[in-house]
Structure 1
Amino acid sequence: MALWRGSACAGLLALAVGCVFLLEPELPGSALRSLWSSLRLGPAPVPPGPLSPEGRLAAAWDALIVQPARRWRRVAVGVNACVDVVLSGVKLLQALGLSPGTGRDHAILHSRSDLEETFIHFMGKGAAAERFFSDKEAFHDIAQVASEFPGAQHYVGGNAALIGQKFAANSDLKVLLCGPIGPKLHELLDDNVFVPPESLQEADEFHLILEYQAGEEWGPFKAPHANRFIFSHDLSNGAMNMLEVFVSSLEEFQPDLVVLSGLHMMEGQSKELQRKRLLEVVTSISDIPTGIPVHLELASMTNRELMSSIVHQQVFPAVTSLGLNEQELLFLSQSASGPHASLSSWNGVPDVGMVSDILFWILKEHGRSKSRASDLTRIHFHTLVYHILATVDGHWANQLAAVAAGARVAGTQACATETIDTSRVSLRAPQEFMTSHSEAGSRIVFNPNKPVVEWHREGISFHFTPVLVCKDPVRTVGLGDAISAEGLFYSEVHPDY
């Protein structure tokens, strides 16, 4: 009887607390939680009220992100790999005795002065960039200071290694990685990553990653966004030395997806070597059995002739999928006389309609069609505040999940959280936008409850979703590679491809 009375009293008190919630919604939540916990009735109910736009968007993503019907089993990734030394850019340059001068971009860095000017140029824009440092001895000296700098961290680096590492987080996937892999990098790699013996070398290639935070200042310059500047003197990756090892490993490994990156590393090579290597890349891709999709991950470039060659010398038609960011997209259009090529740079957030026009042009000019024997049918575009997945109709499935998964991982990886923490991210994507500026596009008004927006244009489908941007990012390096890997993981290619 006493037990029954105790249960009845608890039930009545619980009912009373429920009434308080309804009748006094303005009562401080802490008081209500204290009352509830004193009854020892378990976790307090959440007071009624609308979720934030970030919370609604994250919840809608979770409902959309479903596994594809046909999943990858074996993924081969190559061919650029290195050790990233990550540290504060401003602090390193100060340690090198440099002071902020006039920001100026240099296509190739020849000196510490070039490094300082180019870093300032991109820090002032809050934009990511990557450059080759031509002086071996000067780079070695800078790298030694950076490696020994207090707080410097060593990570897996290089697009291929980072993408392979991200895929390896899925224990049911087998991952092959080919690249110049030294002892430090081999130690850092996931146990689930298989490295052919021919890929191992005695010394590591080091890349220096100079990070800066949003609002960080150096002299008169202030970073509008958190980002990073990368530079290296990397000859192994620059010559794509592991390309042949990579292709020869595919026959035994038998992948159902191939990911290629590292073409941008050739910028430090002569024009003759660039042309020769690109032809060998196309030949190597052609040796991959029909039906195995090949994804090409692009990266920051400054050599328009090299980019134009990548577009026109049959590289684009030879690959199935592309991954790139806003700088690479505009540079590609400028190099190959595409839409909006007269635009010198993006003014803040890249215009969705302009991005859509360039993606459409790439797939129309270089993608698969009835009149063109091209394999290119997919582009995953990512920028800080939104992503777009553009696909030629009839070749890919699960695009809603793929673009949402890519955007979600940008928020979790930047904040170093397992799931989206809505208190640490913000929705900064445009709330209204046009889907095109080259033709009469549609005006879209974004709704966080429906986070993936879809539109179509002449046999090409576009899937847009915002990114929940981390307010205080822990690490910006490798976000693009994680985004591309996650988007590919959730993508499904049709079996008749």
Structure 2
Amino acid sequence: MWRQAFAAMLLAVSIGYFYHSNPAFPEVAVRYLTKTLQSLSSCLQGSSSTATIEQTISSAWDTLITAPATQWTRVAVGVNTCVDVVVTGVGLLQALAIDPGTGLDHEVLHSKEDLKETFIHYMEKGAATERFYSDKESFQRIARAASEYPGAQHFVGGNAALIGQKLATNPHVTVLLCGPVGPKLQELLADQIIVPAESLQGTDEYHLILEYKAGDKWGSSQAPNANRFIFSHDMSNGEMSTLETFVGSMEEFQPQLVVLSGLHMMEGQGRELWEERLKEAVVTISDIPNEVPIHLELASMTDKDYMNSIMREQVLPIVNSIGLNEQELLFISQAGLGPHSQLPSWSGVPDVGQVSDILLWILKQHGRTDLESEADLTRIHFHTLAYHILATVDGFWANQVSAVSAGARVAGCQACGTQKIDVNRVVLKAPLEFHTSRDEPGQTMTLNPSEPVVVWHRENVSFYFTPVLVCKNPLRTVGLGDAISAEGLLYSEMAEQ
């Protein structure tokens, strides 16, 4: 607005100067300049009622988002489920009499000291992560303290249960949920979710969610933005013990879509267990009929050998779609020595060109980007705080402009706890201009708020980019990725081959 005001002032001075210093200055020019000044003045007066960029994007999404021609009505979801205990991270650690210190990442937590150092490491980055806590008795003591901490809340937890719960909000969708379901979780699940009897167990698996807000401090550490730190001692989910039950339930349920999650939980069980179990998982997943698409939801992992096994043992090629965030995307590239794998971590908002390079590499390495490939992977839903990208192999998926928009819209709604985007509570953090590649000559794209989905093509892969309207003061960050993936799937459809 200040630029408009400066231009109006400069124009007014110019009119006065030319008119008084040169009486011969054409009157028609004076009238033209005066009219221009009046128009600028009107714009300035009306600027207070002009839509903000957030309002423009939100309204554009509402127009863009349309239901697919063919919608899923029966979705099977498994296999990691639990009860989330959500507490204030710094407050709980202080209640456990843990002193602040310096951050250090641990792949597996063996003690409260490991917990403290890893929590600080990720809080200072403002990054989400998930860890396995190896000491059962120590974890149970921490879990009791968390449940009794003032303000502690209990929610449906685990990627599968969260995705199932989100899908069940659509009245046209029936959800089969398979995973370790105890009494508390069963009480929290939506009524329209079907749980096989074989999945029910006498006790719940608990996951502790340590949340922090932007600006939260502990000692010399401060969080740059809101996020959460998750840890658990979860053996049922860690061994994917209900996977066979899950696949066995499909013959009777006859799903149109399968959503699989929980592979990351096996990482903390030790190499000997996950090597054998991963092979069994591939055989079991392969029993799902070929005509039923499979979406795999990934989560935080730290063992490069394990990540390589997921790729090497043909997990990625036997699923049709995957969902992941910026940490998981970069870790896949680091494990497989892909594009930009030399980056230790993202610095601020992940560069769109670098993200695009890695997405294309994954689809070319593990997907069906050529006619000779026998892989099934044709879709990746990438989400980070500031923006989302859907990358799909041409000819396999439809309605992806709606899908990526719906995923971004639900992120702003769920974080703020609102049914619709509240433009006063969100802010745009996505880049307004970006490159589509950093590895090769790419395009420079500009975001138009009135048309907030930017589309580009690389080889036979289409990329759909849209910003996120980030909640300024999020009420809850847990499960955002699961809600995003679920919403994106609801608006997606497989193209007929």
TM, length-normalised to structure 2: 0.90
2:381 corresponds to? 380
**CA distance in structure 2 between the partners assigned to 1:197 and 1:231 by the alignment:** 27
The residue type equivalent to 1:462 in the other structure is F
1:353-372 CA-partner distances (Å, limit 9, x unpaired): 00000000000111012121
1:462 corresponds to? 463
> After TM superposition, which residue ranges in structure 1, 4 or more long, deviate above 2 angstroms?
24-28, 46-49
**CA distance in structure 2 between the partners assigned to 1:242 and 1:472 by the alignment:** 37
- Report matched runs for 1:227-266 at 5 Å: 227-266=227-266
1:192 corresponds to? 192
How far is the alpha carbon of 1:232 from its aligned partner?
A: 0.2
Residues 1:74 and 2:74 aligned together:
yes
How far is the alpha carbon of 1:283 from its aligned partner?
A: 1.1
**CA distance in structure 1 between the partners assigned to 2:423 and 2:48 by the alignment:** 17
Question: SS at 1:90's partner residue?
Answer: helix
How far is the alpha carbon of 1:27 from its aligned partner?
A: 13
Q: 1:49 to 1:249 in 2, by over 3 A?
A: same
**CA distance in structure 2 between the partners assigned to 1:371 and 1:459 by the alignment:** 14
1:371 corresponds to? 372
The residue type equivalent to 1:59 in the other structure is S
- Report matched runs for 1:289-300 at 5 Å: 289-300=289-300
1:244-282 CA-partner distances (Å, limit 9, x unpaired): 000000000000000000000001112122121111221
Question: SS at 1:289's partner residue?
Answer: coil
1:350-406 CA-partner distances (Å, limit 9, x unpaired): 000000000000001110121210000000000000000000000000000000000
Residues 1:338 and 2:338 aligned together:
yes
Question: SS at 2:249's partner residue?
Answer: helix
Q: 1:48 to 1:130 in 2, by over 3 A?
A: closer
1:35-77 CA-partner distances (Å, limit 9, x unpaired): xxxxxxxxxxx99732000000000000000000010010000
Question: SS at 2:371's partner residue?
Answer: coil
2:31 corresponds to? none
Q: Unmatched 5+ residue regions in structure 2?
A: 1-38
1:208-255 CA-partner distances (Å, limit 9, x unpaired): 000000111111111001000000000000000000000000000000
**CA distance in structure 1 between the partners assigned to 2:164 and 2:446 by the alignment:** 37
Question: SS at 2:224's partner residue?
Answer: coil
TM, length-normalised to structure 1: 0.90
1:13 corresponds to? none
Q: Unmatched 5+ residue regions in structure 1?
A: 1-21, 29-45
The residue type equivalent to 1:147 in the other structure is S
Question: SS at 1:146's partner residue?
Answer: helix
How far is the alpha carbon of 1:494 from its aligned partner?
A: 1.3
Residues 1:217 and 2:224 aligned together:
no
**CA distance in structure 2 between the partners assigned to 1:102 and 1:219 by the alignment:** 9
**CA distance in structure 1 between the partners assigned to 2:421 and 2:309 by the alignment:** 40
Tell me how large the CA RMSD over aligned residues is: 1.5
2:58 corresponds to? 58
Residues 1:92 and 2:89 aligned together:
no
Q: 1:26 to 1:134 in 2, by over 3 A?
A: same
How far is the alpha carbon of 1:25 from its aligned partner?
A: 7.8
How far is the alpha carbon of 1:495 from its aligned partner?
A: 2.8
1:438 corresponds to? 439
- Report matched runs for 1:82-231 at 5 Å: 82-231=82-231
Question: SS at 1:295's partner residue?
Answer: strand
Question: SS at 1:237's partner residue?
Answer: helix
Residues 1:415 and 2:416 aligned together:
yes
Percent of paired sites with the same residue: 66
Equivalent residues, number: 457
The residue type equivalent to 2:407 in the other structure is G
Residues 1:447 and 2:448 aligned together:
yes
How far is the alpha carbon of 1:311 from its aligned partner?
A: 1.1
**CA distance in structure 2 between the partners assigned to 1:489 and 1:237 by the alignment:** 26
**CA distance in structure 2 between the partners assigned to 1:64 and 1:26 by the alignment:** 28
